Amino acid sequence: MRRSDMAGPRRTARPVKETLLSVKAGIRIHPTAIIEAGVEIGAGTAVWDGVHVRGPARIGTQCIIGEKTYIAYGVSVGNCVKINASVYVCTGVTIADHVMIAAGVIFANDRYPRAFTDGMDGLAESGPTADTLATTVHEGATIGAGATIGAGIEVGAFAMVGMGAVVVKDVPAHGLVYGNPGRLRGFVCVCGHPLRGLPQVVQNGRSGSCSRCDRMYSVIEHGAAAYPFFTGVRDVRKPLRPR
């Protein structure tokens, strides 16, 4: 046996890069992660320690899956998605490109769950049933730390869900939602910062601009929802509202 094959203190002396993640086809997976058969992972994605991904599931390119996160079977994660530590992603959830899910977020997929099936012995079916509701987090949205996302929810594109929110209703595109129950409190820009001039009740004809960058928005109505629609970049040489 070569000395380098022996377990012992010499192993800990290996460079951090080698010991933390094994790299295969541009995908970095921590040795303690459990990736089941049928899981597809795109190039450039990193999966950290203690992560468990049930198969089949799909994780896109250039994602980060933070430590101790659980991803159930059937879940689809887009490209360039950042999932922080200890996130619970259940069956029925679809996460689009450029989404951020902060630490400790929990998704739920059954509104009236039971451990048993009424009138039958043993445990209820663990796989999806008629009660399993689909949730989608659309492109560019952020879910803040410790938030809980209820069953069958649509979180609109570029929406922002605050820390600890309990989301029980759909969030419109660019919507800012926080509290328990989560309520619409305003709107945010693509960059994540609040839009001035657009409080939570938006009507056609209103417009607003970002509190941080120069993007401008007008409100459009789509079915029951109204939300800001990017209209262009403010000319920074001119004041926002003519005096």
Ligand X SMILES: CC(C)(COP(=O)(O)OP(=O)(O)OC[C@H]1O[C@@H](n2cnc3c(N)ncnc32)[C@H](O)[C@@H]1OP(=O)(O)O)[C@@H](O)C(=O)NCCC(=O)NCCS
Q: Where do contacts with ligand X occur on this chain (CB under 6 A)?
A: 102, 144-145, 160, 162-164, 178-179, 194
> Residue 84's closest CA among 48, 138, 55, 137?
48
User: In the complex, what is the shortest distance from the CB of residue 143 to ligand X, in angstroms, rounded to a whole number?
Assistant: 8
Task: Rank residues 196 and 206 by Cβ distance to Zn ion and give the closer one.
Answer: 196
105 binds Zn ion (CB under 5 A): no
To the nearest whole angstrom, how small is the minimum distance from the Cβ of residue 149 to ligand X?
13
Task: Name which of Zn ion, ligand X, none residue 145 binds, using a CB cut-off of 5 to 8 Å depending on partner kind.
Answer: ligand X
**AA identity, residue 74:** G
How far apart are the C-alpha atoms of 182 and 163, rounded to whole Å? 10
Q: Which is nearer to Zn ion, 20 or 213 (CB)?
A: 213
CA nearest neighbour of 148 among 105, 112, 99: 105
Nearer to Zn ion, 103 or 213 (CB): 213
Measured from the CB atom, the residue of 57 and 145 that comes closer to ligand X is 145
Strand partners, 27: 24
Residue with token string 């101790």: 68
Q: Is 195 in the site for Zn ion (CB under 5 A)?
A: no
Choice between 77 and 177, CB closer to ligand X: 177
Task: Count, in order, helices (H) and strands (E) of the chain.
Answer: 2, 27
And the tokens for 200?
């939570």
Residue 113 binding partner per list Zn ion, ligand X, none, with a CB distance cut-off of 5 to 8 Å that depends on partner kind: none
Tell me the residue nearest to ligand X as measured from the CB: 162
**What phi, psi does 64 have (nearest 5°)?**
-120, 125
Size of the site for Zn ion (CB under 5 A): 6
Rounded distance, CA 133 to CA 119, Å?
Answer: 23
How far are the Cα atoms of 136, 138, 172, 181, 221 from residue 156, in angstroms, in the given order? Answer: 8, 5, 5, 17, 14
Please state the closest distance from residue 214 (CB atom) to Zn ion, in A: 8
Applying CB under 5 A, which of residues 80, 124, 213, 225 lies at the interface with Zn ion? 213
Helix (H, G, I), strand (E, B) or coil at 67: coil
* Binding flag, residue 210, Zn ion (CB under 5 A): yes
Are the CB atoms for 197 and 188 separated by under 8 Å?
A: no
Q: Residue 213 binds which entry of Zn ion, ligand X, none, with Cβ cut-offs from 5 to 8 Å by kind?
A: Zn ion
Cβ proximity to ligand X, 82 vs 206, nearer residue: 82
We find the least distance from the C-beta atom of residue 52 to Zn ion, in angstroms, to be 36
CA-based nearest residue to 136, from 148, 153, 161: 153
Site for Zn ion, rule CB under 5 A: 189, 191, 210, 212-213, 215
